[in-house]
């Protein structure tokens, strides 16, 4: 008899609910957001995972705010860590009982891009465009993982098996960050060119920005400066050795000069994305602000890592151009300074094994740095509301009681 399965679903702008959904099977069924071309797709290469930790992400928050074309009843959640409870007939290496991290990118492992480690733009999992993810708008319709159970396709390729289950459970909140935000933040600083002695500016002190700052320190940066308008999130950045700039007091360049003695940094990271605001207290939305700031303050010949999310459909955009993802960028500045840009989904598998080792060997404490906080599945609506209000926390849903969270 199939186990009961409950999940967090988007029910309209500002509203999420915990609902009953079907227990996963090795076939993609029709449902909210499922591409018709994916309906009936067989998944003998998949595994069914019982979630140990499943996190609320800022990318989820964009949908919940009504800033995407996500349909009602879409099951949310792409940051998944769990225990394998069933495997399909084509799964050879992943075993029942394995504790695994599931990259948020769904990748086949067979296409040209996957073979080149570009797993964020797999060609075979989303009929609409390259790239896919669990529980996300326009990503093919793979059911989200903020649930008791979730189907993980291409399990032998996608699942990162933790080598020692007991040891992993001792660091489970850190390891839970491997499915998305730690590799995503790390990708941002790697593509920005961070190395030993670098000076780095990270725009945004949400969980991805804090993960990027953590990654910069891990790579040996000399100075990591984090900018935001949220005092609690800036305090969180300072708690592990970052400098900060308060954007309610104006733009970042003057404050960076006060810290470094020069009005520029070697490397810039956009961890904000398409809902960026201008400078100053009470600033309104101005989605190109961060990218233009980074071009202004990054030294000539430098690079911008852009893990922040940008979309092609934003019903809440400030104008018709923004609703299509068209922003007023000062590209001439970037060209004149010979700046490089890297955008798009992080290819999680490029980084997650190495970052796992860094966690297991106590080289980094990512859960502490991002303010990881466990709550029960039924508390998800509260977690979304508090995260949206600016809480300096990364909410981790304890859907099945592995983390010892008491029911609300």
Q: Are 265 and 294 in contact (CB under 8 A)?
A: no
Domain's final residue, options 313, 342, 371: 342
Residues 15 and 63 in one domain: yes
Higher-confidence residue: 406 or 18?
18
The CA dihedral of 373, 376, 382, 387, to the nearest 10 degrees, is 30
Judged by DSSP in three states, 19 sits in strand
In a domain, 367, yes or no: yes
Residues 231 and 285 in one domain: yes
Whole-angstrom distance, CA of residue 54 vs CA of residue 308: 20
Q: Is the pLDDT reported for residue 150 higher than 70?
A: yes
Residues 22 and 169 in one domain: yes
Site of tokens 């940066």: 221
Tally the domains of the chain: 2
In a domain, 158, yes or no: yes
Predicted local confidence at residue 313, as pLDDT:
85
Which residues, in sequence order, are CB contacts of 183 under 8 Å at separation 6+?
A: 103, 346, 348, 350, 351, 352, 355
Whole-angstrom distance, CA of residue 188 vs CA of residue 268: 9
Predicted local confidence at residue 406, as pLDDT:
54
Predicted local confidence at residue 221, as pLDDT:
98
Closest alpha carbon to 185 in 136, 158, 219: 219
- pLDDT tens readout for residues 228-271: 999 999 999 999 999 999 999 999 999 999 999 999 999 999 99
Whole-angstrom distance, CA of residue 241 vs CA of residue 119: 32
Q: How many CB atoms lie within 10 A of CB 82?
A: 29
Residues 225 and 257 in one domain: yes
In a domain, 222, yes or no: yes
Q: Is the pLDDT reported for residue 1 higher than 70?
A: no
Q: Are 102 and 152 in contact (CB under 8 A)?
A: yes
How many Cα atoms occupy the beta-carbon half-sphere of 380 within 13 Å? 31
Residues 311 and 190 in one domain: yes
Buried b / exposed e over 50-72, threshold 16 CB at 10 Å, is: bbbbbbbbbbbbbbbebbbebee
Q: What is the CATH number of the domain that holds 231?
A: 3.40.50.720
Nearest-Å Rg of the Cα atoms of the chain is 20
Q: Are 56 and 372 in contact (CB under 8 A)?
A: no
The CA dihedral of 69, 74, 78, 84, to the nearest 10 degrees, is -160
Predicted local confidence at residue 314, as pLDDT:
87
Q: Are 111 and 123 in contact (CB under 8 A)?
A: yes
In a domain, 388, yes or no: yes
pTM for this entry = 0.96
- pLDDT tens readout for residues 326-384: 999 999 999 999 999 999 999 999 999 999 999 999 999 999 999 999 999 999 999 99
Residues 24 and 98 in one domain: yes
In a domain, 407, yes or no: no
Residues 139 and 219 in one domain: no
Q: What is the CATH number of the domain that holds 71?
A: 3.90.180.10
- pLDDT tens readout for residues 205-230: 999 999 999 999 999 999 999 999 99
Kindly give the pairing relationship between strand 15-21 and strand 5-12.
antiparallel
Predicted local confidence at residue 312, as pLDDT:
86
- Measuring CA to CA, how many Å separate 90 from each of 80, 108, 153? 22, 13, 11
Predicted local confidence at residue 408, as pLDDT:
38
- Residue numbers of the domain that contains 388: 5-180+347-398
31: phi then psi, degrees, rounded to nearest 5: 170, 180
Whole-angstrom distance, CA of residue 393 vs CA of residue 374: 10
Enter the tokens of residue 96.
């029942």
Residues 163 and 45 in one domain: yes
In a domain, 406, yes or no: no
Residues 359 and 262 in one domain: no
Q: Are 127 and 38 in contact (CB under 8 A)?
A: yes
Strand partners, 303: 267, 340
Domain's final residue, options 294, 325, 342: 342
The percent of residues above 90 in pLDDT, for the chain, comes to: 91
Largest CA distance in the chain: 66
Q: Is the pLDDT reported for residue 407 higher than 50?
A: no
Res. 2 pLDDT band, cuts 50 70 90: low
Mean pLDDT of the region 43-57: 98
Predicted local confidence at residue 164, as pLDDT:
96
Kindly give the pairing relationship between strand 99-102 and strand 160-161.
antiparallel
Residues 169 and 23 in one domain: yes
Residues 276 and 131 in one domain: no
- pLDDT tens readout for residues 79-129: 999 999 999 999 999 999 999 999 999 999 999 999 999 999 999 999 999
Query: How buried is 281 (Cβ within 10 angstroms: 0-12 exposed, 13-18 middle, 19+ buried)?
Result: exposed
Residues 310 and 263 in one domain: yes
Which residues, in sequence order, are CB contacts of 310 under 8 Å at separation 6+?
A: 273, 274, 325, 327, 343
Domain's final residue, options 342, 361, 385: 342
Mean pLDDT of the region 299-318: 93
In a domain, 404, yes or no: no
Whole-angstrom distance, CA of residue 159 vs CA of residue 163: 12
Judged by DSSP in three states, 290 sits in helix
177: phi then psi, degrees, rounded to nearest 5: -85, -5
In a domain, 403, yes or no: no
């Amino acid at each position: 008899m199939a186990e009961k399965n409950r999940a967090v679903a988007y029910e309209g702008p500002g509203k999420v609910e915990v609902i009953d959904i079907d227990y996963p099977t090795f076939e993609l069924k029709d449902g909210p957001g499922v591409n018709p071309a994916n309906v009936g797709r067989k998944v003998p290469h998949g595994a069914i995972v019982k979630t140990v930790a499943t996190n609320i992400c800022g990318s989820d928050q964009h949908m919940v705010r009504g800033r995407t074309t996500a349909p009602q009843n879409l099951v949310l959640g792409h940051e998944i860590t769990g225990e394998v409870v069933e495997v399909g007939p084509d799964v050879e290496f992943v075993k029942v009982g394995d504790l695994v991290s599931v990259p948020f990118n769904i990748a086949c492992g067979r296409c040209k891009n996957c073979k080149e480690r570009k797993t964020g733009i797999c060609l075979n999992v989303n009929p609409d465009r390259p790239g896919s993810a669990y529980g996300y708008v326009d990503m093919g319709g793979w059911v989200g993982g903020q649930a008791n159970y979730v189907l993980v396709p291409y399990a032998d390729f996608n699942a990162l098996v933790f080598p020692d289950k007991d040891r992993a459970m001792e660091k489970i909140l850190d390891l839970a960050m491997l499915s998305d935000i730690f590799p995503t933040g790390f990708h941002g600083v790697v593509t920005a060119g961070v190395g030993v002695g670098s000076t780095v500016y990270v725009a945004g002190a949400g969980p991805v920005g804090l993960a990027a700052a953590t990654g910069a320190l891990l790579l040996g940066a000399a100075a990591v400066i984090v900018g935001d308008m949220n005092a609690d999130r800036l305090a969180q950045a300072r708690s592990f050795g970052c400098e900060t700039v308060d954007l309610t007091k104006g733009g970042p360049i003057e404050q960076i000069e006060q810290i470094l003695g020069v009005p520029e940094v070697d490397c810039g990271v956009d961890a904000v994305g398409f809902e960026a605001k201008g400078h100053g207290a009470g600033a309104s939305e101005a989605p190109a602000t961060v990218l233009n700031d980074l071009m202004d303050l990054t030294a000539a010949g430098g690079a911008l890592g852009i893990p922040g999310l940008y979309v092609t459909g934003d019903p809440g955009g400030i104008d018709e151009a923004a609703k299509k993802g068209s922003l007023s960028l000062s590209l001439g500045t970037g060209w004149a300074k010979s700046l490089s840009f890297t955008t798009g989904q992080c290819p999680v598998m490029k980084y997650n094994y190495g970052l796992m080792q860094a966690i297991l060997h106590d080289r980094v404490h990512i859960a502490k740095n991002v303010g990881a906080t466990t709550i029960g599945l039924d508390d998800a609506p509260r977690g979304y509301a508090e995260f949206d209000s600016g809480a300096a926390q990364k909410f981790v849903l304890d859907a099945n009681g592995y983390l010892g969270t008491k029911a609300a």
